[in-house]
Amino acid sequence: MPKKQKIEYSFIKILTGSDLSSRKLALMSVAGRQSGPVVWLTACVHGDEVGGIFVIQEIFKRLQKNPLKKGAVYAFPLMNPVSFETGSHNIILRNEISPYKEDLNRSFPGDPNGSLAERIAAKIFQRIIFTKPTLVLDLHNDWIQSIPYTLIDPYPGLKYRQAYEQTKEFGYQTGLLLINEQETEDDADELKRSLSGSLLRQNIPALTLELGGSYIFDEKNIRLGVNAIWNILSALEMVEEPTATFFYPELKKFQGKILKYSHSPISPESGIVRFLTTPGTIIKKGQATARIYNIFGRHEQTILSPYDGVVLGNSDSVVALPGVPIMAIGVL
């Protein structure tokens, strides 16, 4: 019987609590017998996006039984324990006068002398870049009603083109839909401060895997996340053959393409939403995707898709407010 590969477990201190307890980030690592690519897995940068924790656990279980041929895999399975324990998306410290709120994934590359989120981000970022990674896979979750997909950042500029092109190639290999994130100009600076955006500006390839709904454990989405990562490790010749090449037979027409992310359509008025499409549905421009009703059940508005594409997810809320997104679409 082959010997199991040894997993290393350790911690990185991030802060001292008011009760003098030490708050830490869990770190997992495994190395092959030969040098080779270095892959990082990171999860739960938002405290309500818990699926990546299970994906990382399952990847390391698989690596125990199927040892790395070369290289190393590192993981931060829980980057934001402060938010995780309260089930919050952001770091929130409540008081009546001045509520404190920070998005850890808009705090990179961090600052050791900055805000709380910037200090945590600096610890994470410096530990990652110290290993000179080949690729970083940041695991997220989306709306509860959503399908898994791979997200790549907007083009960061000619200076970082090589890392960006490598990122796209890795994205094709995940077996998930490949979506190019499209942000407004107002959001562009913030997006640069995400983990993936900051890594690209260090010329380090980085992908975001959106693995289904937040808050919940979904066995199918966890399996898809594990398989997507295994495909990457296989492409880097770190493990044996990939699990599959593409995980959406019904969406075969999108294989090998990069779709654009869109939060349109948005609600034109207030009301209650009833969706007409489910995540993974292929839609046409002008197709009815949702209806808005008033509190008495009167039909007020039919929402039409402005694009050809595929539904990535429906809003967690049935509440419609003017100008608020109600679904996400991958635009063809």
Tell me what pLDDT residue 183 has.
59
Question: How much is the mean pLDDT over the chain?
Answer: 92
- The model's pTM: 0.94
Tell me what pLDDT residue 21 has.
80
Q: Is the pLDDT of residue 97 over 80?
A: no
Q: Considering 216, 237, 258, which residue would you say is the last residue of a domain?
A: 258
More confident residue, 15 or 174: 174
Q: Considering 207, 237, 258, which residue would you say is the last residue of a domain?
A: 258
Structure confidence by residue, pLDDT tens digits, 184-221: 555 667 789 999 999 999 999 999 999 999 988 899 99
Pairing of strands 258-262, 177-180: parallel
Backbone angles phi, psi at 48, to 5 degrees: -95, -5
CATH code of residue 234: 3.40.630.10
Do 305 and 321 share a domain, yes or no? yes
Q: Is residue 2 part of a domain?
A: no
| C-alpha 138, offset from chain centre | 5
Place of tokens 């690592």: 29
Q: Is the pLDDT of residue 1 over 60?
A: no
Q: Is the pLDDT of residue 96 over 80?
A: no
- Among 55, 80, 42, residue whose Cα is nearest residue 218: 55
CATH code of residue 284: 2.40.50.100
Alpha helical stretches, state H, the chain: 51-65, 81-84, 116-130, 161-173, 185-191, 195-200, 219-235
Question: Distance between CA atoms of 241 and 219, rounded to whole angstroms?
Answer: 22
Pairing of strands 8-16, 319-320: unpaired
| Count of domains observed in the chain | 2
Structure confidence by residue, pLDDT tens digits, 12-43: 999 887 888 888 999 999 999 899 999 999 99
Q: Is residue 1 part of a domain?
A: no
Domain residue limits at 301: 263-331
Q: Is residue 53 part of a domain?
A: yes
Do 138 and 283 share a domain, yes or no? no
The mean pLDDT of 46-55, rounded to a whole number, is 96
Do 250 and 276 share a domain, yes or no? no
Q: What angle do CA 303, 307, 312 make, to 5 degrees?
A: 80
Q: Is the pLDDT of residue 324 over 80?
A: yes
Length, in residues, of the chain: 332
